[in-house]
């Protein structure tokens, strides 16, 4: 605009030919620039969004190593502490590498309804060194892209922590090599397709006019098309991992001494530190899943904070009333239960939803690790099923209910061309959620079963009885956690 004023002033004074010529050149340049600006330019990622998403990615790394490691590690006996930390550390690294080799491509590029393609193998095409340009990925708003590399990193941490969650069911007896073989197979054939089914769609900018919407929808993942709501991974992360963990607990069998000896947590102090850091990191996990630093992220942030506090109070109160004493382990477990349950709901429900989901998750998961655990009769050592699968199922179903605008929820985008929000009704959305939960449970159970069997055939799932009695720290890793 200021350019136009300069041009007028220069011409109005009728100055020397030299100045006239100069002004003409400037005017021409300015005109060229303004006409260029009128053509729709490629929007660039917002710096605030970029900073927030890189920070969120680092937060999810923190909630895995060290937080999940400490949370789990404190719950095992001293002789197995390092084996838990090592399993978490190495599985996290292994999945991160596989993610960049083929995982991202299979989960987040266009393919069929269940698997993506191979166009992004080794992250091919995300950065072009020839012209220094970066590929962009869609978010949930039109014209608001994200650097694809940031999206790759953010989603890598999700895949990695999901594989680490499973470990809680099989610790204190599983062979380290069996863990690695199992997670590679399970990640490839369960995590990747479920992430693709639930989360892959072409992005809001692909929906340009109503006549093409069905064609664009047809490129999305199976559960996305169905209308399943999963903000940050109730199905993809928690149900997926929780069920795989339970299958592992069944196949490995109980730890030596289970039900006869005291297999007590060796440091609830570390478990508390771990749970607290998990809570902290979960802000990146849930609020980061908005993919932008916007209102949806703000809602997810507050819900993550509030639901967790509700779950701590619910678990603690119920334990106090039913068992006589409110325990630190109960409070820490309540926090994780609340976090798990609010995950699919985070940006999909309003404040009433956060209160309800948090409180219910605390009570349901307390039953999951007591009453339900006795019914199941498996040594799910650190209650991955009771907390993550059960919390994930509760959260996924309750998301369908509390997404309702009448219950304070935001609804969901019904038309990506006009970005119109809507809600199909409680019964309809709940039914969609239930189908997504059911499909996830069956899919991960089958893949997990096969993956454990393959690991068993190749190296055997369990360490020897002698190694188990000595402790995995010495027998598997040749070191001990504490020097007394």
What character string, x for contact with other proteins (CB under 8 A) and - otherwise, covers 233-262? -----------------------------x
Residue 265 interacts with other proteins (CB under 8 A): yes or no: yes
- Terminus-to-terminus CA distance in the chain, angstroms? 75
What character string, x for contact with other proteins (CB under 8 A) and - otherwise, covers 325-354? x-x-xx--x---------------------
Binding segment for other proteins (CB under 8 A), chosen from 62-70, 109-117, 322-330, 473-481, is 322-330
Residue nearer to other proteins on the CB measure, 23 or 365: 365
| Total of residues contacting other proteins (CB under 8 A) | 17
Residue 473 interacts with other proteins (CB under 8 A): yes or no: no
Binding segment for other proteins (CB under 8 A), chosen from 189-197, 216-224, 263-271, 452-460, is 263-271
Residue 159 interacts with other proteins (CB under 8 A): yes or no: no
Distances 119 to 110, 135, 153, 216, 310 between C-alpha atoms, Å: 9, 13, 17, 18, 44
Binding segment for other proteins (CB under 8 A), chosen from 292-300, 344-352, 371-379, 456-464, is 371-379
HSE-up (13 A, CA, CB side) for residue 482: 11
Residue nearer to other proteins on the CB measure, 14 or 374: 374
Return the closest-CA partner of residue 102 out of 126, 124, 121, 127.
121
Residue 373 interacts with other proteins (CB under 8 A): yes or no: yes
Among 370, 417, 459, 462, binds other proteins (CB under 8 A): 370
Residue 374 interacts with other proteins (CB under 8 A): yes or no: yes
Shortest Å, Cβ 383 to other proteins: 6
Q: Under a CB-based contact definition with an 8 Å cutoff, are residues 105 and 121 in contact?
A: yes
Residue 369 interacts with other proteins (CB under 8 A): yes or no: yes
Among 14, 36, 47, 264, binds other proteins (CB under 8 A): 264
Distances 61 to 160, 191, 323, 339, 482 between C-alpha atoms, Å: 9, 18, 35, 16, 25
Binding-site ranges for other proteins (CB under 8 A) = 262-265, 323, 325, 327, 329-330, 333, 369-371, 373-374, 383, 386
């Amino acid at each position: 605009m200021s350019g136009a004023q300069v041009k007028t002033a220069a011409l109005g004074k009728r100055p020397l030919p030299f100045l006239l010529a100069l002004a003409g050149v400037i005017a021409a340049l300015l005109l060229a620039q303004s006409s260029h600006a009128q053509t729709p330019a490629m929007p660039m990622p917002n710096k605030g969004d970029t900073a927030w998403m890189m920070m969120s990615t680092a937060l999810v790394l923190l909630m895995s190593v060290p937080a999940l490691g400490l949370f789990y590690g404190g719950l095992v006996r001293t002789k197995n502490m390092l084996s838990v930390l090592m399993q978490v550390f190495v599985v996290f690294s292994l999945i991160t590498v596989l993610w960049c080799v083929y995982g991202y491509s299979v989960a987040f590029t266009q393919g069929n309804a269940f698997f993506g393609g191979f166009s992004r193998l080794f992250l091919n095409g995300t950065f072009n060194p020839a012209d220094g340009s970066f590929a962009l990925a869609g978010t949930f708003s039109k014209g608001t892209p994200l650097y694809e590399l940031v999206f790759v990193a953010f989603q890598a941490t999700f895949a990695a922590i999901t594989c680490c969650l499973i470990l809680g069911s099989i610790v204190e007896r599983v062979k380290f090599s069996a863990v690695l073989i199992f997670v590679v197979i399970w990640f490839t054939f369960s995590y990747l397709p479920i992430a693709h089914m639930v989360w892959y769609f072409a992005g809001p900018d692909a929906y340009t006019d109503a006549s093409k919407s069905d064609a664009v929808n047809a490129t999305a993942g199976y559960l996305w098309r169905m209308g399943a709501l999963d903000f940050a991974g109730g199905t993809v992360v928690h149900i997926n991992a929780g069920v795989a963990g339970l299958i592992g607990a069944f196949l490995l069998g109980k730890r030596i001494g289970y039900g006869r000896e005291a297999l007590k947590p060796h440091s609830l102090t570390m478990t508390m530190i771990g749970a607290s850091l998990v809570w902290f990191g979960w802000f990146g996990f849930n609020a980061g899943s908005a993919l932008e630093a916007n209102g949806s992220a703000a809602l997810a942030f507050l819900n993550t904070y509030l639901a967790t506090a509700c779950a701590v109070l619910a678990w603690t109160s119920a334990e106090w009333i039913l068992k006589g004493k409110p325990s630190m382990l109960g409070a820490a477990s309540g926090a994780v239960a609340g976090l798990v349950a609010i995950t699919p709901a985070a940006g999909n429900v309003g404040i009433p939803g956060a209160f309800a989901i948090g409180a219910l998750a605390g009570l349901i998961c307390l039953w999951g690790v007591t009453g339900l655990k006795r019914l199941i009769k498996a040594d799910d050592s650190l209650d991955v099923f009771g907390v993550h699968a059960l919390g994930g199922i509760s959260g996924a179903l309750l998301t369908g209910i509390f997404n309702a605008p009448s219950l304070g929820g935001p609804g969901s985008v019904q038309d990506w061309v006009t970005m119109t929000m809507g809600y199909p009704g409680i019964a309809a959305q709940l039914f969609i959620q239930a189908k997504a939960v059911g499909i996830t449970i069956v899919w991960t159970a089958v893949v997990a079963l096969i993956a454990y069997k393959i690991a068993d055939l190749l190296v055997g799932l369990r360490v020897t009885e002698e190694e188990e009695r000595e402790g995995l720290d010495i027998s598997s890793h040749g070191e001990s956690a504490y020097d007394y």
